[in-house]
Structures are given as structure tokens and as C-alpha cells.
Structure 1
Amino acid sequence: METASAEARADRTRYYDGLSAAAHAATLRWRDEALSIDRVDGGEGGGRELAVWPLARLSIGEIDPDGRVALSCKGQPGRVSMDAAALPPRIAARIATPRTRRRQYLGWTLVGVVSLGLAFALVVRLPAVAATLVPRSVENHLGEMVETVVVNQHRVCVNADGQRALEQLEARLAGAAGIAQPIRLVVIDSKTVNAVTLPGARMVIMRGLLQEVDSADQLAGVMAHETGHIARRDPVVALIRGAGISLVSTTLGINLGIADVSSLAGQLVNLSYSRDMERLADANGVAYLQASGLRSDGLAGFFALTSRKHGNAGSTVEFLSDHPRIADREKRSQGSPLGESALTPKQWAAVRGMCGKP
């Protein structure tokens, strides 16, 4: 243990408590694990302990031209100004010289460049892998912004009974998909025949879809399909594929002048999934319906319905645009009529009337 014999000279050592501008003459006692700062004022209360700082959290600044150095403790207010020459050798050895600091800066710069290069390689080569590197907090923030972009353009349809019915149905599907995060579900008053998934486990259903489907089971088929996208984090994968460099740079806190997060929101609204993503979401959707104990032929029924109404191209149905051919999807999505109906007649009526236009 280093005792008072290793004390810094009180006439040159000053302690600032961080609460006022007052400077206190101080004596420093260096112990094995901590630094004790004692007040030296020559009057009553002299020698009173002002602070105890663990050496593991001690931070040491550079030596100034006057040969003085500043000490501070991470997580505690206050600082000490003292002669660098009064530091014990084991503490003085921790002072970084300008040359050492340059090496540290170069080292961290190299680490940053390599990390960014690896991230870009993942974005270009393996979007699905890169998506797993996006923190959930970032994904949730993106989802919140994109939802604002989508929802602010339309009226949100509010109906307690209909909303509750949809949320209960989606909870069953999410449970079958093994999704732990609660899924946020919003219905908007848009004539577009579509339902979209957003980052952060969010789903937006449009009035046009509610009016297009013939039954609750067809709606459940579409919702199960969208749940498949959420389970595999497809919105983030698609975003990285379409705007990956911007996303990675923003996630790492680097402004490359390419795009910021707010511009990514507008891009995500217009993203489309790959055909492989769509095929997998169709197959998984049917599986989720079956695992939920629901009849699983609703998605194929929806494809058959839209094919009859709009032809195989389905050009007026946004849910089907840029996707595999409707006839092919119908064949691959054949489920079973066995199982519960997705909603009761009363629940289905509430859902159909959510936007006031049943």
C-alpha cells in the first residue's frame, strides 16, 4: 500500500467538486485500489475526506505545458489538478503521450474502416445475414418512422371490436410463428388492396383489402402471409438489399452523405420482396394457419378470388404486384378447409365495418 508518504504536495494540488467553482487545497492518498482526496484548509475540518475514487475508474489527462495534469473519476463529479511529477510511478505510467494517442487513433480508425468494409460486404453479398446485425432498437425506430410515413397519409380506422378481433387473430398467428415481440397492427382508410409489414413487427392493413376478400379466412390467409415476412425479418432484409449502404452507415453512426434514416423511411414504403421471399411467406403462412388450428385454405381462396376478378396479372391488387404469378401461388398455397374459422360472424362484421364502409 502507498501511504501518506506518497501524498501529492498540498500547495499545488487542487480539488474541484464539480458543484461550484471553488478550488480546495487537497492531499492525495494513493492506496492499492483507490485514491483518497483529503481537504487541507488549515482550519476546522482540515483533513476531511472529500472523495474516494476507485483506481479502476480513474481517468488521467495529458500533461499541460506547466507540467500539470487533470484527474477525474468516471461516474463521479469533480476533478483534481496536480503536478504530474507528484504522481506515483504506477499511475504516471498510464498517461498517454501524444505519440501513443496517435497510435490509438490510427488503430481505432483502422478498426472502423475494416468493420465498415465487412458490413458493406455483408450488405452486398448477404442481405439476410446483414439484417441479423441490425439491433432490434434500430429496427423498431425504423418501423416507427415508416409507419408514420404510411399512416399519416390516411385516416386510421378505429373500431374497438374490430381492432380487438384482428389483434387476437394475429396473436394466434404470431404464436404459431414463434414471434416473441408483440405485433402492432393498424388499419387505414385506403382503397388500395394491400397489407404491408414494416420493420419492428408492424403490420398495416388497408380498407381495400377488407373490401376485396370474401371471408375472414381469406383475410387470415393474407395476414398469415404477412406474419411470415415478420418472422423472417423480411422488411429489414429488403431494406438492406435496396438501401443497405445507407442503413449500415446510419446504424454505425457514420454520415457518408448518402442518406439519413428519415430518407430510408420513404424508400422502405416502396420496397418489394423477392419472389423467393414471397413463396416462402406463402408456405409459412399456410403452416401458421394449420398450427393455429384454423382452416388453412384462405390464402389460396384469396388468390382464386383475385384471379377471377382481375385476371392472372392482378394488376389492380397491390398485394400481388411484382410477385409470382397468381395461378402458381394458388397451387402452392392449397391448405385445408378443416379447422376453426378465423373470426366469428360478429367479429367479421366488426372488422369489415372498421372504416365505416362495410
Structure 2
Amino acid sequence: MTPDDDAANAAPAGATSVYFDGTSNRRRAVAPKLSDALEIREDGEVVARWAYADIRRADSPSGLLRLSCMTAPALARLEIRDETLAAKLVTLCRQLDDNLPNRKGVAAIVGWSLAAAVSIVLVVLFGVPLAADRLTPLVPDSFERRLGDVAEAQVKVVFDGKPCDNAAGQAAFEKLVGALRQSAGLDNSLQSGVLETSVANAFALPGGKVYLFDGLLAKAESPDEVAGILAHELGHLRHRDSMRELIHNGGTSFLIGLLFGDITGSGALIFASRSLVTSSYSRDAETNADSFAIETMHRLGRPAKPMGELMFRVTGKEAGKGLSIVSSHPLTEDRLARMSKADAGATLNGPPLLSAAEWQALKGICGKG
């Protein structure tokens, strides 16, 4: 090669490229030179020499030619922005695109990706619920109680709710919960309370915790309405539905995260933690908790229908608001009808669960009565 050839094949004056040697993350400004091989020069010194037959194209954005070399370190890259130099290299490197997938390769990648996505969906629909059912009975009580403690702290932060502690109201609440606990056959480890927040809700947490929000208590018109709701939540505790949903929702979120690139599982942790406080159970879990509540109330000689009336007062008529077949819980009006029917065939002559004075005290447990 003559000096004239060297001048023609060198990078244009002032034009530099970026070189990564594959052993460090240092960006090196270099001047490529085309001879019998691609010489990569830094400050006039040859720092690498790549045979044209070994050079391959690497993924790069528009306007940039990024190269790798089969005989260089795996992470070595040369980035060229000069269009003239890039065009010459494309001509000299006959095997530049040998490592890029052809149509058959692309089809295989797409096919395997679709198969993986379908597999994840099938696992979410069938595998995760089965695993949750099998694993829930194996979770130690001590671990479940620790989860409940974490969830309890989250509830108070998310809903900005502080415990209501009016003495007379607390006494009435404990009396009501005690009667339900005995009727349901639960032990003394049950923890319960009322939180001051406008949200109309009640929920059960892992480890034997039940909370009633003051927003729901404000909408209640009788002790039986509140008792029925609490009995329903005790049903979730008895069936360990909170623990089951934690495993189910956490596993589902983790798999969906994998599908969309969340390989750390952080999304699963957030979603699973949120599921502890939203208490969104399956249709079967809600139906079973309703059955538990009906039986608990009837053993006390009290009706279950008031529970359904309070639910209906909160949610309103749900039919027609969407596809009921995909709803995560039975329609409120269907639940109310079921409770009314159950009451019709039961002997309900038990004494009131609270006196009129105790009921007023409970209504004012957060200092609002």
C-alpha cells in the first residue's frame, strides 16, 4: 500500500470515533485507519487491529455504525459517526451482518416470545391459584402474624387512619366482637379495632386482624349491620383468604413483571403489599365468607339481611354497571337476596347484640357521636 493509499484510507482530518476496549468502561477517542485490516489508533499508536472478516455489526441507533470483532474481547465496541468512513467499512467487511438474524431467525424469536407469553398467562390463570391454595396451609402462623403487622402499618399510612379509642365506644365494640368471636368459634388471639377514616370499608389482615373504618360505621343504622360485616371479615380470617390472596396476587404480579421486563420483582412486592389493604377476594372467597357470616349471625339468633342492606347502601345496585361475569365478587343485590332467603328459614329470636346506649356509644367511638 502506497502513502497515497494511506492518505485515502485514513479517517478524515479531525474526525474521531469512540472505542471501548471491552475490559473497562473508558471511552477512548480514536482515529480508525483502513489498511489490510482496520487499525484503531489512539494518539498515533495502534491500540487494536481488527481483520475485516472478523468485524460484525452491533445494535446501534440511526446515524451511528457500532462494530464488534469476533477476535476482540466480547464487550469491545467501535462507534463510527463519519458517514464516509462507515460506507468504506461496510464495503470492506463482507461478513458485517452475519450475526444478525434472518427472516427465519426473526420468526423463531417471535414464535418463542409468543409461546413464553402464553405460558405465563396460563400459569397466571391456573398455576398461581393452585399454588396459592396449596401453599397457604403451609405458611406458619408466626410468619403470617408478622405479615399482618406490616400490613397494619401500611393501612394506617395509606388511609391516614388513626385508631378510635373513645372508652364507651371501645367497650361496645369489644362486646360486639366478643359475641361474634364466640359464635364463630375463634380464639382470643383475634385483634380488632376501628380506624378514623371516611372510607366505607372493613377488612381482614393476615395473622388474625380485623379492622372497621369509621366511614362504614357512619353509614350503619343498626348493630346487626355492623355485626354482619364483621362476621364476614371473620370468615375471611377463618379461611385464611388474606394469606391466599397475598400469594396469588404477589405471584401474578411477579410473572406479569417478568413479561414486561421487571426481573427484580419489585412490582410484585408493591402489588402484593397493596393487596393486603384492598382486600379484593375472589367470588368463591366472598361467597364462603358470606356463608360464614350468615351462620355466625344465626347462631346468635340475629338476622344476616342487615349486612346485605349495609352493603347495598354503600355500593348501590351493581347490575348493569359492567359485565357481572368478570366481577371479582358477587353482585351486592344477589348477596342481599341470598341473606334474606337464609333469614326466612331460620329462627331469629336472639337478644339484641347491643343496647341502644351501647349502639350510640359505638357510633361515637371516633368522637363524632
TM-score (norm 1): 0.56
Structure index of larger Rg: 2
Q: CA deviation at 1:146?
A: 0.5
* Paired AA for residue 138 in structure 1: F
Distance 2:154 2:290 in 1: 27
Judging changes above 3 Å, is the alpha-carbon distance between structure 1 residues 126 and 181 closer, same or farther for their aligned structure 2 residues? farther
Moved more, 256-265 or 170-179: 256-265
* Paired AA for residue 140 in structure 1: R
* Paired AA for residue 183 in structure 1: L
Distance 2:127 2:137 in 1: 11
Corresponding pairs, count: 223
Distance 2:229 2:203 in 1: 10
* Paired AA for residue 278 in structure 1: E
Paired-residue identity, %: 32
Give 1:195-344 correspondences, 5 Å limit.
195-244=202-251, 257-259=264-266, 263=270, 264-306=272-314, 310-312=316-318, 322-334=328-340, 335=343, 337-344=348-355
Distance 1:189 1:305 in 2: 20
Alignment-derived partner of residue 151 in structure 2: 146
Per-residue Cα deviation, 1:280-316 (whole angstroms, up to 9, x for no partner): 1111101011123434332233245446xx334699x
* Paired AA for residue 356 in structure 1: G
Judging changes above 3 Å, is the alpha-carbon distance between structure 1 residues 329 and 137 closer, same or farther for their aligned structure 2 residues? same
Judging changes above 3 Å, is the alpha-carbon distance between structure 1 residues 260 and 182 closer, same or farther for their aligned structure 2 residues? farther
Asked whether 1:131 is paired with 2:136, we answer yes
Q: CA deviation at 1:137?
A: 0.6
Contact 2:166 2:367 in 1 (8 A): no
Per-residue Cα deviation, 1:201-251 (whole angstroms, up to 9, x for no partner): 10111111111111111111111111111111110011111014899xxxx
SS at match of 2:359: helix
Give 1:62-81 correspondences, 5 Å limit.
none
Q: CA deviation at 1:140?
A: 0.2
Distance 1:296 1:342 in 2: 13
Alignment-derived partner of residue 358 in structure 2: 347
Judging changes above 3 Å, is the alpha-carbon distance between structure 1 residues 311 and 168 closer, same or farther for their aligned structure 2 residues? same
Contact 2:251 2:268 in 1 (8 A): no
Q: CA deviation at 1:331?
A: 1.0
Alignment-derived partner of residue 32 in structure 1: none
Contact 1:145 1:262 in 2 (8 A): no
RMSD between superposed Cα atoms in Å: 2.9
Task: Extract unaligned runs of 5+ from structure 2.
Answer: 1-125, 255-262, 322-326
Distance 1:186 1:212 in 2: 17
Task: Extract unaligned runs of 5+ from structure 1.
Answer: 1-120, 248-255, 316-320
Q: CA deviation at 1:187?
A: 1.0
Distance 1:201 1:228 in 2: 11
Q: CA deviation at 1:179?
A: 2.0
2:198 is aligned, of 183, 186, 191, to 191
Distance 1:181 1:237 in 2: 23
Q: CA deviation at 1:172?
A: 2.2
SS at match of 1:276: helix
* Paired AA for residue 341 in structure 1: P
Contact 1:165 1:343 in 2 (8 A): yes
Distance 2:337 2:354 in 1: 25
Judging changes above 3 Å, is the alpha-carbon distance between structure 1 residues 143 and 180 closer, same or farther for their aligned structure 2 residues? same
Contact 1:246 1:259 in 2 (8 A): no
* Paired AA for residue 209 in structure 1: L
Per-residue Cα deviation, 1:91-141 (whole angstroms, up to 9, x for no partner): xxxxxxxxxxxxxxxxxxxxxxxxxxxxxx985524223111111011000
Distance 1:217 1:129 in 2: 35
Distance 2:336 2:253 in 1: 37
